[in-house]
Chain A
Amino acid sequence: MTRENPADLLPELCVLGTAVTGLLTGSFLPRTRQWIVAVLCGTGLVAGLVTAGLAARRADLTTFDAFMLDPLTHVTRIVVTAATLLVIGLAAGPLRGHRRESEFHTLLMLAALGTIVLGAASDLLVLVAAYLLAGIPGYVLAGFGKDAPGTEAALKYYLMGAFLGILMLAGVTLLFGLGRGTSYETLAAGLGTAPGGAVAVGVVLLLAGLMFKAGAVPAHFWVPDVTEGAPRVVAAFVTTVPKIGAFAALYRFAVQALPPGRDDWPLLVAVIAAATMTLGNLAAFAQRNVRRLLAYSTIGQAGYLLVPIAMAGRTDLAEPALLFYLAGYAVTNLGAFAAVIAVGRDDLLAYTGLARRSPLLAVSLVVCLLGLVGTPPTAVFVGKLLIFGAALDGHYTWLAVAAAVNSVASVFYYLRWIVPMMRRRDGGGERRPAPSARWIAYAAAGGSLVLGIGAGIPLAIG
């Protein structure tokens, strides 16, 4: 008997409800009081976070035949709502009194909703719908500034998204035909007897869309341009939040939809992972713009995140590794972007002397950047530890070694950013960094440390 209880989707309904209410309220509010919409969205996200937290204590179940409620979904919900909450906090400064402030928040909420559904869907058709819901608001947000770089970013983002989305749709069609169904349960049963080559083609086509969302090679071309061209707050959002859903969806597909015993999946994903981390890290070397640097760093991070996807089902460490790394990555990456928003400048030279101008902000940024390297005791360190463990336990030693070598290489470009901060000269960033972004940078750096030191608690629960 199918379970169809709307209460199971309470966190999603909270997000959707505030998105709709926000849009309606925003239409009737004068421009000076549009901040009410931001508060409304924030409240909705807090409600979503609380209900998601409460739901996480229940046993696993499937609802509406297409929506799995398991640790993967719970963590996706919690991380996405928390990360979106941070983004709304970041937006408080730059968007206060903007002409389209309420639209911005509504789009943000819809993209977050799409991301959660992406991670929770256990049916290919819902997956496609979620892909679109998570994507289209993102395209609009990328061009939100209505300037030339923003338009270029939006166009590039949209064209790639549409193209790879169509490939994904073709993959879904193929898998539907081969597996005689779209739900993961049916697929797992049906694909086992289907011709292997055709299944492989279908899976690769499906991967195209999800790799685009994850920002992995070879679908990564949008990442640097969007990160550089879109408004900074949007850059922080699109390099962090949609990825969470994409990786959850990839993991879920690997574990639940692929028939057990296929050994081409780990190899395929492992190769993509190695390529992604290597390319991201090497391309970041020469960047002089911190946003492009962070963009390539997120590509590198996507490479590490693909490691547990490749090891899905091969080791018990894969799921905690993925979930913990996602949470750690989200808070650390947002922290770095918060520091960029607080300083308000993009060129590396503007960070010269930051340690003197605002020591606490500099320390937060250093914690976040070293966190992205994977220095203990930050959250990403624990994630990396689990990822290395998963790769070694899954007998992919070369992948663990590749990830380790890449981590060392990544130190180089993060240090290129850190070193000028300690110089005496003044690079002339903003005199008074934006207060809300500054506080969020502190909070994110602290959160990254707390999550790393207190790693035992979430891991024990999850």
Chain B
Amino acid sequence: MLSLVIFLPLAAALGLCAVPAPGARTVVWTWIVACAADLALVIALWIGHGNGGGISYEEKVRWIPSVRAAYHIGVDGLSLPLLALTALLFLVCAIYSLRRPPQVRAFAVLFLFLQTVSSGLFAALDLLLFFVFFDLSIVGMYFVIAGWGHGDRTRSALKFFLYTFLGSLALLLGFIGLYLGAEPHTFDMVELTRTPALAGSPGLAGLVLLAIGLGLAIKTPAVPFHTWLPPAHTDAPAAGSAILAGILLKMGTYGLIRIAMPMLPDAWRRYAWAIIILGLVSVLYGALVAFAQEDLKRLIAYTSVNHMGYIVLALGAAGAAGEQAARRLAVTGAVTQMVSHGLITGALFLLSGVLYDRAHGYDMGRFGGLARAAPVFSGLVALGAFASLGLPGLSGFIAEFQIFTGVIGGGGPGLVVAGALAIPGILITAALFLRLLHRAVLGPPGELTSQVTDVRRSELAAVAPLLALSAAIGVAPRFLLDVIEPVSSAVVALVAR
């Protein structure tokens, strides 16, 4: 069943390729139906999994037996929310594409391919399989940016490819290090989690963590490895940006929780402070640079750096010595933040796509008074902005509240200082989103305002579910937290070994 979830989109893509010259309408509707079916399957998986701690829907087929690599997949409370996010966000992008981008068939095929790759990554329980999906996500996104982007897209896409490919090869070297360090040699994540490799040689474990951490930090991205992100986002099509920020960035932090923390617990604890500082720098730097942006998409891109920084900070704090319960809270908050950021940033990027569609620009200074010209659009932007700055009642608050409580509650003056230093990040984000609303939505009309018409039905149908779900998590988060909590206590226990 899990394999079906992963490969259903790919099968739909191949089907679309096989049909000679289908109409654009048929293509988009096939795409939507495939995504909807996939989402339904994921919801069924979620219900079937319940709130237990273990891995369900496990499948294992031998792949390369001589290096003990297998097609090994399964879901637990960490992968399920991300699988669901993947299915939802891709469905929403399909609905958004009812506006029919050029060469719609190739576009749909690429997105379906990316959906298979992303779901596969979040379900993989084998390092090699994880890597295959990790690498393919880069290839798929490259073609999305290079093929359907705007501006200096070839250059941005190339930068994205080279930078993240470098990260993926560092990751591969780290994986091989884990493989060689395990006795017997294996790529199996479950076995590697059970008996951590390289337990006897801290120096090597540190090197392997460095390689894996570098690979994942580039993908996350954490400052100073984030420079590929702003151009990639600015020049990508709206749906591509939504997937890049909503799903692909999560691969980095997901890898940290799934691979780096449980498989290299000693090294993670030893270098926890380096990770905390990396997260802290990302939080503050991302917020400050975002504040200085005039370009709407670059602004959202830098807030992604800020938001992903909270996750890195929380995961680092989970490795520092401290109260067990607080560390659990930090990990739960980190996973919640992944989901929340996916929903909110996905919505914001799609909304910025609406703006580009009408006025071919992202420059905030040239808009103004959108509330009068496009009231529904402005309402959605305002909701997204408030969710992103962490207003209570929306998902961002739930996530960030848990992260801060977890970090500061861990005890120890160091963690308190780290938490206190990160709080200005929230303030700056609040200020920049309020400034955004002030300049673009309120105020006198700008030169491009007259071109902006309100959201169309397909755009509303794409953005509304994301914000509604963010609000639902903000009001009644239990359904999500109940799934995550068993995993976060397991991860914290594994790191503490």
**Chain A interface residues toward B at CB < 8 A:** 320, 370, 375-377, 381-382, 385-386, 388-389, 392-393, 400-401, 404-405, 407-408, 411-412, 415, 419, 422, 455-456, 459-460
Contact = CB atoms under 8 A, between A and B. Distances in A.
Given A376-B135, A377-B132, A411 B162 contact: yes
B34 interface: no
30 contacts: A376-B135, A377-B136, A381-B132, A381-B135, A382-B64, A386-B67, A388-B172, A388-B173, A388-B176, A389-B179, A392-B176, A392-B180, A393-B180, A400-B173, A400-B176, A404-B169, A404-B172, A405-B166, A405-B169, A408-B162, A408-B166, A412-B158, A415-B158, A419-B146, A456-B63, A456-B65, A456-B69, A459-B64, A459-B67, A460-B65
B148 to A, nearest CB: 10
B132 A407 contact: no
Given A392-B173, A422-B147, A376 B67 contact: no
B173 A376 contact: no
B66 A460 contact: yes
A393 B154 CA distance: 38
A385 B128 contact: yes
Contact of B165 (A381, A382, A411, A456): A411
A200 B319 CA distance: 52
Interface string B224-237: 00000000000000
A385 B176 contact: yes
Contact of B170 (A404, A422, A455, A456): A404
B139 interface: yes
Contacts of A320: 66
Contacts of A415: 158, 161
Interface string B129-167: 001100110010001001100000010001001100110
Contacts of B66: 320, 456, 459-460
A133 to B, nearest CB: 34
Contacts of B154: 419
A391 B408 CA distance: 44
A376 B63 contact: no
A182 to B, nearest CB: 34
Contact of B169 (A386, A393, A408, A422): A408
Interface residues of B, number: 30
A386 B128 CA distance: 12
Candidate in B132, B146, B147, B169 with the most chain A CB atoms within 10 angstroms: B169
B180 A370 contact: no
A49 B79 CA distance: 46
A459 B68 CA distance: 11
A-side interface mostly:
helix
A19 B281 CA distance: 69
Contacts, number: 74
A385 B177 contact: no
Candidate in B62, B136, B165 with the most chain A CB atoms within 10 angstroms: B165
A459 B66 CA distance: 6
Contacts of B158: 412, 415, 419
A376 B176 contact: no
A407 B63 CA distance: 24
Candidate in A370, A376, A401, A415 with the most chain B CB atoms within 10 angstroms: A376
A459 B172 CA distance: 20
B180 A389 contact: yes
A22 to B, nearest CB: 39
Contacts of B166: 404-405, 408
Nearest to B164: A408
Contacts of A411: 161-162, 165
A401 B132 contact: no
The 7 closest A-B pairs by CB, nearest first: A376-B132, A404-B169, A456-B64, A459-B66, A408-B166, A389-B176, A455-B64
Contact of A456 (B62, B131, B172): B62
A320 B66 CA distance: 9
Contacts of B131: 376
Nearest to B132: A376
A404 B166 CA distance: 8
Nearest to B142: A415
B198 to A, nearest CB: 12
A377 B176 CA distance: 17
A376 B129 CA distance: 9
Nearest to A320: B66
A400 B175 CA distance: 13
Given A385-B172, A388-B173, A460-B66, 10 more contacts: A320-B66, A376-B135, A389-B67, A392-B176, A404-B166, A404-B169, A411-B161, A419-B158, A455-B63, A456-B63
A422 B107 CA distance: 12
Nearest to B136: A376
Contacts of A370: 139
A404 B177 CA distance: 14
Contacts of A408: 162, 165-166, 169
Nearest to B153: A419
B488 to A, nearest CB: 30
Contacts of B69: 456
A459 B65 CA distance: 8
B412 to A, nearest CB: 35
B177 A392 contact: yes
A411 B143 CA distance: 14
Nearest to A401: B173
A377 B115 CA distance: 16
Contacts of A382: 64
Interface in B167-223: 169-170, 172-173, 176-177, 179-180
Nearest to B161: A411
B25 to A, nearest CB: 21
A462 to B, nearest CB: 8
Nearest to A407: B169
Contacts of A455: 63-64
A392 B177 CA distance: 7
